[in-house]
């Protein structure tokens, strides 16, 4: 009985030690914008599980509950109510994180919105909202956070695009323009920041089951499913795994790319 108990205890300790050794983001400081739910939440949880201290930036108050939920699992996760369109908020939050930790290692530009309308129905406000949050927000966060990464000669920036930015999509001229802009902008970041030890890459998720896609009519969802060669819709964790690789030290020679994670949709 005692031998069995000791073996079990040793096994648990061994598993814990191995897990700690394998933590790919141990001691990293990461910011995940739009991390309150969906893909952003999956990224935050995955990164925290890999040893990172994660700051969720979001306007949704549910971000506080997300941080509490993940913290209850033993992860280091905090919530900051930050709008990615507000330069003052972004700069203040970045400064506070840097002052506390002396570094920022990872920026995940995940925050985004949909304002879908076809060409002749789309209003100026709907166009501007999509460009401001999706494209300008990525620029503002990158400019602020990369300044601190540059000081430590290390950084991983991964931004969210979409297969819509690669192929276009009916009723999403604003979204396609923003996501296409993110892909081009990220290449420029890669060129400008590479000498400072900072990589810049993009993930282009395909159809993923989130709160945002839940608003799409069921018949449209079914049509989308029929175009995915692997035959199923992604869970947020499927997308988060791509972010983990590009944010890890192993991806040190990967910069300026867009990685579609879409089940073969983009081909």
Contact of 48 with 70, CB cutoff 8 Å:
yes
Query: Reading across the β-sheet that carries 76-81, which strands appear in turn?
Result: 76-81, 53-58, 29-33, 106-109, 155-160, 198-205, 258-261
Is residue 175 annotated as a catalytic residue, yes or no? yes
Catalytic residue among 148, 175, 207, 243: 175
3-state secondary structure the chain: CHHHHHHHHHHHHHHHHHHHHHCCCCCCEEEEECCCCHHHHHHHHHHHHCCCEEEEEECCCHHHHHHHHHHCCCCEEEEEECCCCCHHHHHHHHHHHHHHHCCCCEEEECCCCCCCECCCCCCHHHHHHHHHHHHHHHHHHHHHHHHHHHHHCCEEEEEECCHHHHHCCCCEHHHHHHHHHHHHHHHHHHHHHHHHCEEEEEEEECCECCCCHHHCCHHHHHHHHHCCCCCCCECHHHHHHHHHHHHCHHHCCCCCCEEEECCCCCC
Residues in the chain: 267
d(CA 232, CA 264): 11
Residues designated as active site: 175
């Amino acid at each position: 009985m005692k031998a069995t108990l000791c073996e079990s205890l040793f096994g648990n300790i061994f598993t814990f030690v191995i897990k700690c050794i394998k933590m790919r983001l141990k001691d990293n400081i990461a910011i995940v914008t739009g991390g309150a739910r969906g893909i952003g939440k999956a990224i935050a949880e995955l990164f925290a599980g890999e040893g990172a201290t994660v700051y969720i930036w979001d306007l949704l108050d549910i971000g506080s509950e997300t941080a509490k939920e993940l913290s209850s699992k033993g992860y280091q996760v905090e919530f900051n109510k930050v709008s990615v369109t507000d330069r003052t908020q972004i700069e203040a939050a970045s400064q506070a994180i840097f002052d506390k930790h002396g570094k920022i290692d990872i920026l995940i530009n995940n925050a985004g919105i949909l304002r879908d309308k076809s060409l002749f129905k789309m209003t100026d406000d709907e166009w501007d909202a999509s460009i401001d949050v999706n494209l300008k927000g990525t620029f503002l966060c990158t400019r602020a956070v990369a300044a601190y990464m540059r000081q430590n000669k290390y950084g991983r920036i991964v931004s969210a695009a979409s297969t819509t930015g690669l192929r276009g999509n009916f009723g999403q001229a604003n979204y396609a323009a923003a996501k296409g802009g993110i892909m081009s902008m990220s290449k420029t970041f890669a060129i400008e920041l590479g000498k400072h030890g900072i990589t810049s890459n993009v993930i282009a998720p395909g159809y993923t089951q989130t709160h945002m896609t839940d608003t799409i009519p069921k018949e449209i969802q079914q049509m989308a499913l029929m175009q995915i060669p692997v035959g199923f819709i992604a869970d947020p964790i499927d997308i988060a795994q791509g972010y983990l690789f590009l944010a890890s030290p192993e991806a040190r020679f990967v910069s300026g790319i867009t990685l579609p994670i879409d089940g073969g949709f983009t081909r």
